[in-house]
Structure formats: structure tokens, C-alpha cells
Structure 1
Amino acid sequence: MSVPPSQWATNVFGDQAAAVRLGVGQGLRNMQANAQAAQEQGAARTTRAYGTSRYENQYERLQDELKDLPGARAVQPFGFPYELMLIGNGLLYPFRYAKTKSDVRSAHIPNETRLVKELFTFAPTPKHTQDPFDLDFGAAVTVAEPRGALATIPPDTQLILVPFACNASELLEAYWGIAALGVNRQLEWTTDPEALHLPQAVTSYTSRPIIIPGQITAHTSFADGTEPTLTLSSRTASDRALHLPAQTEAEPVEDQTSEDDATH
């Protein structure tokens, strides 16, 4: 028997609260499967392939599971390469808070970036921001105003956090709820963080299947290789009249890309 959604979830997502909760759990399961597949294909000593794939998939696989719900909308924050899902009055923000099982009530946001500050303008006000006897007169406290698509969503939107714990071996646990951003990135939960059901079945690995072309296994010597095709063109009459030397090959084209352009 399924557990009904919490009252806060019903207030935020309405009649779709159960469907959103189910979709978030399934999206995280697909995220883990995709990231583990990337790690296995890379056959690397480090887990960098897993980490890169997991970070991308924590947004994209949730979007796959939620985009067809009535009223669902993908929102892309300014300068951010991925989209967050807005459903009803809830803006979902998934992030990994630990690599092992840990008390989510003591979780911290990994990094207090400009994006995080903009997102938390849709969260409750923290109870404590700075000790009154620890004032910093050197810099004024500024509020990060939402930019880009975040500036277009209703002001009564609520940020719904989706913290999860995982590593390259397994997806351990996941929660969702509402919290303020306190001192030192500490989360101040205004709702009890609710554990999400993480199904065992995987509904999708990736929308871009990897196809490896067939490889030639027979040994071929240089002399037995296919003779290259040469493209010949005659010189114009004006070139011959001016006694210009024949051009034997095209001018080299400067490469405009490098390995540094790739995401590692």
C-alpha cells in the first residue's frame, strides 16, 4: 500500500503530488544507472566518468520523468547548462549531499554559488544568518536577484530540495522537502525531509545510445592499402601568363578547437 504524499507536497503540487514523487524517485534511479554505465564503459581507474555523468543525469533524467505531467515546465537558470522542473508551485532542485548514508537533517548545500543564492530566494527565510556581535562592516550583504528564466516564474514558487546520497557503487537514499539556507550552507528544514522511494527497475539509460562501428581485424600492410584519390586541377590562363609557380597542396587551415574545449 502506497503512502499518501505529505501535506506540504499536496499544497505545492496539488493532485499531482504522488506522480511527482514517483517521477523524482524514478529519475534518480535512472541517473544512477546511466552514471554507472558511463563508468563501466570508460574502464577508468578513477570515478570521474561516473561523477560527470551523474551530475548531468541528475537534472536530465528527472526532466524525462516529469516533463509530460500537466503544467510541467522546464526552467533554465541564467548561465546554467541544465534545466530545472517547475510543477505546480514547486521548483525542484536535486543535488548530492553525501557519498555515504548520512543524516540529511545536518546536510549542507555543496557550494553556495550565485545560482544557489538565486534559487533560495524561493525558499523560506533562515532563522539565523549572522551573529549580532560578528558584524562585517567591510562588505554590504546583497541579495541575488533571480535572472533569466528564474525571473519569469511566479514569486510564490517554492524551492523543493531533492538531496540524495550515492557513489559509483550504489544509490543509497534520497529525500525531498523545503528548507532555508542557513549559516555555512547549513540547511534549516521547515518540513520534515521525506524519504523518496527508489525503485529497482530502470526505465531508461540514455536517449543517445552508443553505437561502436565494426572494426577491421585483418592485418593490412601499407603497400596493400587503398591508393588515395588525388584531386587535380589545371592552371588558369592568367596564372600561366604570369609564370606563377604551380601550387602542390592547399594552404593549411588553423585548427580552432582543442582538447581543452571538451568537458572532462
Structure 2
Amino acid sequence: MLSTWALETFGPRAEQIRQGVAEALALALENAQDAQKTAQTELLHPFGFTLMSRKFEALASTFADMPDVETVKPPGSQHELVVLGGNLLFPFRYAKDRSVSVVTARIGDGRPSGLVQALFTRFGPRPWAEQLTLGGVEAALPEPATPADRALTRLPEGTRLVLIAYACNARAGLLDVWWGEAELLDRTGSLRWHHCEPIPLAGQAPAVELPGVAAPVGEASAFARGAMPAPALNPRPPYERANALPPMSEAPYAPDAAADEGR
């Protein structure tokens, strides 16, 4: 089943695109594992370098024949980024095993590159909470545009950044894949997900969805399917009814109550 987010983002091609992403990453991981075996070394450089290039190349070749697809190669970048129907696909590895949750995913191991920062600034979702600047007017001025930022200006303003986060290692291969939208929180690469959902992988059990992820279209949530609870009624005592006393809906106000609330 496809989520509302996937259908709204990719339209009727959502299932085809989701499957294509999974197949492209699986191919990139297979190529990286082959490179590691061929190198016959315990160092993981062959695996890492091959995966870094092949994940972008595999996505580009997978969607090359699909309508409304273009690629962009910013200055200084060795890789072409795929823009599919106004959605810029950006894959990154968030973990080497399942001990790390995608919720705590970071872009890279250090400070995000100028390209990554430009992608979030131009095409990422609007931050839920704007950060306040304390350094005066000068500190609030925007940073100078980088070459990567200027190269992205030819893409339409409505372009959306779709993150593809995956966990993998040279021995086990591809473990989990997620996609969605997030904002870049700081210069350490921390993310705040606005939407994140798993991409099914062939031959693997589906990953557990994150709290707050929208239910697939046509499938009601567990709360909506449950029976409506009947509230317990507290009838008025016979004494009040016999003497026509007004109902007491709230406890009488105590003058000292406000002091106990800490206000």
C-alpha cells in the first residue's frame, strides 16, 4: 500500500518510483560488494568509494527513460543528481547496521558540504521552528551564495528535496531504506523528519513504520477502526433532584488555588 505522502509527491507513478529506488540501491550495493571482493583487502575503501558513486549512477540509469526526468551536476560535485517530476532524489547512508534509528540520522559523519546545505536551503521543507539569531543584524544576514547554490538556481522554485536514507554494510548488504522529507537542524548534519516511511525491499520483512507516519491510502488507522467508547455517566444524587438544586459541574473556586499553580 502507498501512503498519502507518496501519492501526493509522485502521483500515479509512485509505486514504480518506489520500486525503482529499491532496485537501484540494491544494484549499487551489489556492485560495491563485488568491488570489495575483487580488491581482496580487509580495508573497506573499495566498498565505500564504489558505493558513493554507484548509488547516484544507479538512480540516474534506473529513471533515465521515465518522462519528466532531468539530472543536474553542481560544480565541484562528481555525481549527477536526479530530479524526477520536480522531486530531487538524494540518497545517503545513515547507518552501518540496525543499531541506529533513522530518527537520529545525520547527513554524513561531519559538517555537511556546501552542496548539501544548499539543497536543504533551497528545496527542503520549511523549518517548523525558525532559529533566532543573537548576533545582531550582521549575524542575521544570509551567507554568500556558493557555486553549488548558484548551480541549483536553474531548477524550478517548487522543486522538493526527497531524502533516501539507507542502512548497509559490506557483509550484510542493504538492510533498510527509508524516504521522506526533513529539515537540516545544524552544522553537524542532524535532521528533523517531517515525513519518513520505509521502502519495502525484496525478500525482507517490512521495516516498522515510525510514529506519526500517515497510514496508506484507503486504510484507516487503528483508532478509526475501533469502537467508539461510551463515556461513564455520573447521575445526580436523589437529594439534589428532589430539592431542585442546580447541578455542580465544577469544584468551587478556592482563593488560594492560583498560588498552588505556580503562577
TM-score strictly above 0.5: yes
- Separation (CA, whole Å) in 2 of partners of 1:128 and 1:185: 17
- Separation (CA, whole Å) in 2 of partners of 1:135 and 1:26: 48
SS in 2 for 1:22: helix
For residue 105 of structure 1, the aligned residue among 85, 103, 106 is 103
Q: Are residues 130 and 19 of structure 1, via their aligned partners in 2, closer, same or farther at CA, if it must alter by over 3 Å?
A: same
- Separation (CA, whole Å) in 2 of partners of 1:165 and 1:136: 41
SS in 2 for 1:74: strand
Cα pair 1:166 1:173 within 8 Å, conserved = yes
- Separation (CA, whole Å) in 2 of partners of 1:33 and 1:85: 21
Quote the residue 2:143 is aligned against: 142
- Separation (CA, whole Å) in 2 of partners of 1:107 and 1:136: 32
Shifted more, 64-73 versus 89-98: the winner is 64-73
Q: Are residues 129 and 143 of structure 1, via their aligned partners in 2, closer, same or farther at CA, if it must alter by over 3 Å?
A: farther
How does 1:128-167 map onto structure 2 within 5 Å? Answer: 128=129, 130=131, 135=135, 140-142=141-143, 144=145, 146-148=149-151, 150-167=152-169
Q: Which amino acid aligns with 1:198?
A: L
User: 1:196 and 2:199 equivalent?
Assistant: yes
How many residue pairs align between the two structures?
195
Q: Are residues 113 and 43 of structure 1, via their aligned partners in 2, closer, same or farther at CA, if it must alter by over 3 Å?
A: same
* Offset at residue 143 of structure 1 (A): 6.5
Q: Are residues 38 and 116 of structure 1, via their aligned partners in 2, closer, same or farther at CA, if it must alter by over 3 Å?
A: same
- Separation (CA, whole Å) in 2 of partners of 1:25 and 1:178: 17
Q: Are residues 147 and 131 of structure 1, via their aligned partners in 2, closer, same or farther at CA, if it must alter by over 3 Å?
A: closer
For residue 31 of structure 2, the aligned residue among 22, 34, 43 is 34
- Separation (CA, whole Å) in 1 of partners of 2:116 and 2:58: 21
Q: Which amino acid aligns with 1:116?
A: V
Cα pair 1:71 1:88 within 8 Å, conserved = yes
User: 1:78 and 2:75 equivalent?
Assistant: yes
TM-score (norm 2): 0.68
Instruction: State the Cα deviation string for residues 226-255 of structure 1 (Å, max 9, x = none).
Output: xxxxxxxxxxxxxxxxxxxxxxxxxxxxxx
Q: Are residues 49 and 7 of structure 1, via their aligned partners in 2, closer, same or farther at CA, if it must alter by over 3 Å?
A: same
Quote the residue 2:184 is aligned against: 181
Identity of aligned residues (%): 35
Q: Which amino acid aligns with 2:182?
A: A
SS in 1 for 2:41: coil
- Separation (CA, whole Å) in 1 of partners of 2:30 and 2:153: 34
Q: Are residues 135 and 129 of structure 1, via their aligned partners in 2, closer, same or farther at CA, if it must alter by over 3 Å?
A: farther
Q: Are residues 127 and 81 of structure 1, via their aligned partners in 2, closer, same or farther at CA, if it must alter by over 3 Å?
A: same
* Offset at residue 137 of structure 1 (A): 8.2
Instruction: State the Cα deviation string for residues 96-144 of structure 1 (Å, max 9, x = none).
Output: 1111112111111114111011111201132346466x64888555264
Q: Which amino acid aligns with 2:31?
A: N
Consecutive unaligned residues of structure 1, counting only runs of 5 or more, are 201-264
* Offset at residue 198 of structure 1 (A): 2.3
- Separation (CA, whole Å) in 2 of partners of 1:37 and 1:73: 29
For residue 88 of structure 2, the aligned residue among 85, 88, 91 is 91
Cα pair 1:78 1:147 within 8 Å, conserved = no
Consecutive unaligned residues of structure 2, counting only runs of 5 or more, are 204-263
- Separation (CA, whole Å) in 2 of partners of 1:144 and 1:164: 30
Q: Are residues 164 and 137 of structure 1, via their aligned partners in 2, closer, same or farther at CA, if it must alter by over 3 Å?
A: same
TM-score (norm 1): 0.68
